[in-house]
Amino acid sequence: MKPESKTVHWGDRRKIGADFIPVTTPIYTAASYVYESMDQLERVFDMQESGPSYARYDNPTRSALEEVMRELEGGAGAIACASGMIAIHTALLAALLDRPKRVLAANMMYGATTAMLMNIFEPMGVETTQVDPCDLAAFEAALAETKPGAVIMETVANPLLRVAPLDKIAALCRSANAPLIVDNTFATPLLVRPLDLGASIVCHSATKYLAGHGDVLGGVIVANEEHFNTIRGLSRTLGPVMGPFESYLTMRGIKTLALRVERQCENARKVAEWLGAQAKVERVYFPGDPKHPDRESILRLFPEGRYGGLVAFEIKGAAKADIFRFMERLQMVVRATSLGDVHTMILYPAMASHRDLSPKHRERLGIHENLVRMSIGIEAIEDILADLGQALA
């Protein structure tokens, strides 16, 4: 079955009773479950038999979502979490549990991920070293020098949309016995499947493309066979799990994921091309740009013609106040902190996604004061361009 069909069918139509099978998975709100046989309940608790026992351990609605995500990412198992950040936190805990307390991290990621490493993990004794993953020689040298217990990166770096050679990095990590954690939120499993390329653990903010409609807070972890049992054990103990209603909404969103991503990729390409022709735009960042610095990796990792729905750009000579005025003039594009929704959104990284980093740190990374990041939606492309045009005028 093709991925486009799996998004529609996988995880649903499990037999509930003797007389019927629901077409879509219902919302189960029960905190605990009763079995006629105590022997069967014990087998469920021991995970010798599948089935729910207690909501922190399992929930039928959440299990259906986990099953479709396991299948889409090609992992041994999945855990749906209450947020993308707790998904990353749990993945790091699992990777470091019995390994050296050292992390090799990409130097450009979501600001909250970097802040978590610096402000939570480092005070707990976990040393973090940052490296540019797009510089393979520098990455290999850092890997050999730090001998990390885990490596973490993004498929597409937030917010400048750099694309590191994930397949080659995964090979280096395997040789160094360092599990590779990849945040695949921007790409989705429809564009890139990091586990197929050698990663150990994949994380998503389900809030974004998976749910897709701006009404869910959630995350997902998908892991290979070596790491999944550890992640499941941590999840059963700590309980960072997604609720049944959010699980239902996320799974419902995934049913249209393929259609949305196809339209968003096409719209993003047209927006990037249009921005590149505007006199007031200094620079455009888009993985589909033929002049992108990571073009070789992008062509190798992404399906032809589909490079994601994110576009970032710099407005020529703009200061913070100028950016604010531009954003306030937008009439259709939504000024809000997120991405991957059906509606086009715009965000000011210095204020939102990377506000936890100091101004000097942002500047070193190339996140300038005049940078904005757009998540392109599924609207008519003419309306998106018209709104941008009148706001830039």
Q: What is the CA radius of gyration of the chain?
A: 21
198-203 long-range contacts, CB within 8 A, separation 24+: 198/167, 198/170, 198/171, 198/173, 198/174, 199/166, 199/170, 199/224, 200/95, 200/173, 200/224, 200/226, 200/227, 201/91, 201/94, 201/95, 201/227, 201/231, 202/73, 202/75, 203/84, 203/87, 203/88, 203/91
Q: Which two tokens stand for residue 153?
A: 């990166």
56 is catalytic: yes
Look at residue 223 and give its three-state secondary structure. Answer: strand
Q: Which helix (H) or strand (E) holds 131?
A: strand 127-131
CA distance 41 to 48: 10
Q: Around Cβ 98, how many Cβ atoms within 10 Å? A: 8
Give the residue from 386, 383, 368 showing the smallest Cα distance to 312: 368
13 is catalytic: no
Identified catalytic residue from 58, 183, 289, 294? 183
Give the residue from 195, 174, 173, 175 showing the smallest Cα distance to 184: 195
348 is catalytic: no
346 forms beta bridges with 335, 374
Identified catalytic residue from 6, 58, 102, 110? 110
Give first-to-last CA distance, the chain, whole Å.
48
Look at strands 77-81 and 219-223 and give their pairing. antiparallel
Specify the amino acid at residue 174.
Answer: R
370-192-374 Cα angle (round to 5): 20
Q: Which two tokens stand for residue 331?
A: 């009439």
208 is catalytic: yes
Identified catalytic residue from 6, 70, 193, 208? 208
DSSP-assigned states of every residue in 298-336: HHHHSPTT---SEEEEEETT--HHHHHHHHHH-SSSEE-
The one-character DSSP state at 56 is T
Residues with a known catalytic role: 56, 110, 183, 208
